[in-house]
Chains A and B, each alone.
Chain A
Amino acid sequence: MFAFLVRRLGQAILVMLVISILSFSIQDELGDPLRELVGQSVSEEIRNQLRDELGLNDPFLVQYWRFLKNAVQGDLGTSYFFKRPALDVILDKLPATIDLVVAATFWIILFSVPAGMFAAIRPNHWLSKLCMGLSILGISIPVFLTAIFLIQIFAVNLGWFPAYGRGDTVVLFGGWETSLLSLDGLSHLLLPSVSLASVILPLFVRIIRSEMMEVLETEYVKFAWAKGLSKYRIWTVHAFKNTLLPVITVGGVQLGIMVAYTILTETVFQWPGMGFMFLEAINRVDTPLIVAYLIVVGLIFVITNTVVDIIYGLVNPMVKLTGR
């Protein structure tokens, strides 16, 4: 386990380094921090002096090293717009995005597992065909369109759920605010989370179905039938556990994609999360915030991938986490 974690950590650091270099070059390219600091009215001479003081005339690598040193200490620069540390701004918005992702993941697992398994076991049943048809539709409708349709139908026409905002939140320990624990929060969360799930859910249904169909044709499943096991045991233990392996791998990547899609859903629903903030930061050319967002999202990817790898190792006995 230890050796595995060390190796994984090494990879993670490498990925984060690449991400930080890329993000930093963006900061270097985009926008002039000086203009944001002092405005247009200062003479060129003073500007140059300020540049020197701020180290903006130093070579790229020196600047990058400074940036990296600060980043490791949690200082990702100060947002031009909010006039606050960029990391603080993001951490304020993070809980809202996590609520959204958690709720969407909940829908995905709740529906994709039974639907995918059923469609694999009874491929010719009308319900399976309906599932597959809906999944094609789900994949084909862009997230923002799903979001618009959901608002139009359930918020505007029917008025069942609110169209915008986050609603009441409950503060947990450490100041973490969540919508998941209040009824009003949940009703605000429903439409955004459903539309976020609408892209990934069909993919999961299809992956689970095709993998499970493949597994059902294997010799070990035939052997399980010959052993006289009940069909439920064969489906849930013998077939599903093997189906899970590729699903976990693909699922890890999909989780990352979901974070990207929060930008779209949060924008449509004006959900006060990181994605919405990121788009605003882009429109305002708030470079430190953009860079901080990319780094935080990169970190989220690396963490989820590591967790996914660990789960994969726990399910698959052929991967040795123990490092015997």
Chain B
Amino acid sequence: MTLLNIENLEVTFPLRSGSVTAIRDVSFTVDQGERIGIVGESGAGKSVSAFAILNLISKPGYISGGRIEFDGTLLSELDESTMQQIRGNRISMIFQDPMMTLNPVLSIGTQMEESILAHRKISRAEARNIAVDKLRAVQIPSAQKRLKQYPHELSGGMRQRVVIAIALLTDPQLIIADEPTTALDVTIQAEILELLQNLCNEFNVGLILITHDLGVVSQVTQKIIVMYAGAIIEQGDTENIVTRPKHHYTRGLLKALPENTTPGEKLNQINGVMPTLQDIPHGCLFHNRCDMVKDVCRKVQPNLQGIASHSVACHFPISYEE
């Protein structure tokens, strides 16, 4: 069953030097309990897409087109107070840097209880019980004691567990995780990812995992969306994307992964840099970095074509012999 349906989403930032479209024509769906990944370089528009779902785009940005439908409700048409009832309740978020996401002057307990009390009419004591339950669910030892502690008393990995616990407090249907492991040590990254995957499985929660690391998403998600310069250029089942990428950019990303390189050899890299949003090129967004560029690529922008399990926006997609 479709939980989230985004169609032709467009976000615009009016700036002094003229307005900039941060994302264009972004459409995708998330089913109940489905885990999808959005991959791209910084500035590709992946975080903006995620924040747009909760209408939390930082000012002066605003949603300038498209529709967002969540569980039968049109989110893009909700007023602020109804939206507030969905944020942190039915859709939770996990932020990038656990060192920065928890308020330094409030105790863990306060920050967990307020999150529940904002959405449920229950007593403080009951809220505290839920908080302890969720802390146990994210495998934090001596959960009861943690409630009295402050963020600075916990390690980075612990804090991200607390943030995940906060995201789970109200039993949401969807969690949006924005680079949840980027700021953590490599050893802890794997633990956190596994935890996130297991929890989503256990509670049947949908997950949108935003990352710049194709390696990370491929371990956790069932579907992958690749974004480039504010648009989706390839999407499909994780299996398809990872083993048979059709877009030259996606293939470049996969090749650049250290695990796909023989030790001792130079890492592969994609030449050039992503165009900034102020000077989006005509034609294919990727044409000035693509090895296979043809004349048509410079003139006509390719549309996303293919089937639900794998589609690509490229005039000359990579083909594979079966």
Contacts and interface: CB of A to CB of B under 8 A. Distances in A.
A29 interface: no
Nearest to A244: B105
A224 interface: yes
A229 B114 CA distance: 8
Interface residues of B, number: 30
Interface string B102-128: 111111000000110011000000000
B115 A227 contact: yes
A237 interface: yes
Nearest to B89: A228
A29 B115 CA distance: 66
Range, interface on chain A = 20 to 34
Contacts, number: 76
B86 A228 contact: yes
B64 interface: no
B303 interface: no
Contacts of B41: none
Contact of B105 (A221, A230, A245): A245
Contacts of A227: 87-88, 92, 114-115, 118, 166
Contacts of B101: 219-220, 223
Interface string A207-240: 0000000000011111111111110010001100
A51 interface: no
Given A218-B100, A241-B106, A242-B103, A225 B87 contact: yes
A211 to B, nearest CB: 13
Given A225-B56, A226-B88, A228-B88, A317 B166 contact: no
Interface string B90-105: 0011011100111111
Contact of A222 (B86, B92, B95, B119): B95
Give 8 closest A-B pairs by Cβ, nearest first. Answer: A228-B88, A228-B87, A227-B88, A219-B100, A226-B93, A317-B150, A220-B103, A223-B101
6 contacts: A220-B100, A220-B103, A222-B95, A237-B114, A242-B104, A242-B105
